[in-house]
Structure 1
């Protein structure tokens, strides 16, 4: 058993404080006897697991974007040194490159990270899922991941495919029994209704990843329709797409990056995952997260009202209204052409 697993098994005995309204846990005592530094990255309860994670997480897709893998390695290591422990990834990000870069970055630092990756069966069976897990573990250079999630529940029949006999949900259970994953969940950006159908099965998910941003509140809202149910069941909510996936609202001056990220982090989530493909972006996000003070309810409402006129038609959340954000692995399994071949 490696040191990271021993450490997290020990941490599993620490009681979590449930998040009910707003953001809880910002003023909790740090683990151990020392009080947290005023400019530390806040640690939050990860649902009912007894584990705490950093309020800001490193998005895995962007780690694989720089041509020089040393950029991704530097981002991860600087994030860890700054107090960010949540590391997001997926089996299919850049054909495995993101996992490989992260695996290199975590050498000698694995015990500092809460490591998550995603399984990308997209309707294929448990055996494919377990094969992907072995490939992910090899790329990440570890014997276990802390969180393994079903990736991209985005197609109308995905819930049925995932829960069918011999499907990927059975792989989640098996991997947990084998000790290769500690916790399990699912992700998706398309529709609150799909998330609710996944949750309707009553499976004991430890986490759910969902798009949460200031625009979401006015259009097919995950914040309104899914987040309350997760909190009720004490399932850890993982926020993503705080800048709507492409940061167009920031580029167009609708909101600032600071406003958008602060809003997302002020929601009652365990962690907000942010894509960072440069050290400059990491430093920008660290400046927001250090000593984070959540927005008041009034501030959040005012920002929602400010963007509502351009948010209500979904123009800034194309991941809900189009296939722009659907990955090629899922497209292939569902019979859709790959990205770049949708027109013609």
Structure 2
């Protein structure tokens, strides 16, 4: 078990001369904190505990999470490896560069350590990404200009889309994907994508270790600590990004990460066997099979209908366009 007095281990970031903490601070959930004061407190505690990897995205809560994280990292920026995501969703490079400037302003920094294409979800996303004047050109340009150190992409729908992105030939430094015990049995990123990243020396970033909003934990299938520890134990994983919206979530991440010791293969196999009866239809991985975790910006870019019950669609209804300005309470 983890040692509560030990440091949080650092892991090598792919082939690069950089390291990050084995657990990462998820940016989306921090937007669900009670207010900016609480969000800043959680960010400060995470940095002080030794969490160095911080995740965010241009479109999370319509810019609020980047704004809050920027406030939380003020005076601490040099201590962390900061990542955000660009949300062209197949649109042009100039839009990506405008989004990058907005992200840098909100996060109160002059560069990102990692800038990633957000949420590749549709079969034509790789083609749209790599085409002339696609987002690939923005990633190259931002790197050349020193505004980002590393580049990558994320997604949680289908491992085959991840493989198609890799096969575009673009030199990605990192790839982000869901990794948890359920994933092993259903449309598996662990089975299809993780080995390919290891082969290519690309940093593998795990997300949704507790399956999004932890429904399986709430229903007693497994514990949050088990799920997080499993994801962090997978060979070749650089960091495991977990959502942190309240003190209990941060405490759990720190507890598992301090002096982290991976599960044995026997422990991992037993946990996979336990969740197998619940894994085959994606009920605890709705981000693979439903609209529940689809971002509205992505669906609109592809002219697809929205899930009107989505929290982010409801947030979008409050404004005529995504200006990137924070909510009033974020100021």
TM-score if structure 1 supplies the norm length? Answer: 0.87
Question: Which of 114, 117, 124 is the equivalent residue of 1:147?
Answer: 114
Match 2:196 to one of 223, 229, 242: 229
Deviation at 1:314? 1.4
1:322 partnered with 2:267: no
Shift of 1:71: 1.1
Q: Measure how far apart 1:341 and its partner are.
A: 6.2
| Equivalent pair of 2:53/2:81 in contact (CA under 8 Å) | yes
Distance in structure 2 (CA, Å) of the matches to 1:41 and 1:313: 35
Moved more, 304-313 or 85-94: 304-313
On the 8 A contact 1:71/1:279 being kept in 2, the answer is no
Name which of 187, 204, 210 aligns with 2:177: 210
How far residue 302 of structure 1 moved from its aligned partner, in angstroms, is 1.0
Separation (CA, whole Å) in 2 of partners of 1:122 and 1:215: 27
Equivalent of residue 271 in structure 2, options 284, 303, 307 = 303
1:209 is paired with a residue whose SS is strand
| Between 143-152 and 304-313, the greater mean CA deviation after superposition | 304-313
Q: Secondary structure at the match of 2:78?
A: helix
Match of 1:65 among 32, 36, 43: 32
C-alpha separation in 2, matches of 1:292 and 1:271: 12
Report whether the alignment pairs 1:171 with 2:148: no
Equivalent position to 2:249, from 281, 297, 300: 281
Q: Which residue among 100, 116, 121 is the counterpart of 2:67?
A: 100
Structure 1 residue 222 displacement after superposition: 0.4
2:210 corresponds to 1:238: no
Per-residue deviation, 1:288 = 1.1
Deviates more, 1:180-189 or 1:66-75: 66-75
1:259–1:37: structure 2 CA closer, same or farther, 3 Å change rule?
closer
Counterpart-to-counterpart distance in 1, 2:138 and 2:104: 15
Q: Is the 8 A contact 2:296 2:306 kept in 1?
A: yes
Asked whether the equivalents of residues 90 and 99 of structure 1 are also in contact (C-alpha less than 8 Å), the reply is yes
Q: What's the offset of the Cα at 1:66?
A: 2.1
Matched, 1:200 2:167: yes
Give me the whole-angstrom Cα distance separating, in 1, the residues matched to 2:181 and 2:246. 24
Encode CA deviations 1:286-309: one digit per residue, 9 max, x unaligned: 111111110011110111011111
Which residue number corresponds to residue 118 of structure 1?
A: 85
Q: Structure 2: 5+ residue runs without aligned partners?
A: 311-331
Long gaps (5+) in structure 1: 1-25, 27-35
Quote the offset at 1:339 in angstroms: 2.8
The residue that corresponds to 2:57 in the other structure is 90
Report the secondary structure of 1:194's partner residue: helix
8 A Cα contact 1:262 1:294, kept in partner: yes
Q: Please give the alpha-carbon distance, in whole angstroms, between the structure 1 residues aligned to 2:291 and 2:15.
A: 34
1: CA distance between counterparts of 2:24 and 2:123? Answer: 29
Larger RCO, structure (CA 8 Å, separation 6 or more): 2
2:217 to 250, 267, 272: 250
Distance 2:246 2:41 in 1: 9
Which of 94, 97, 100 lines up with 1:127 in the alignment?
94
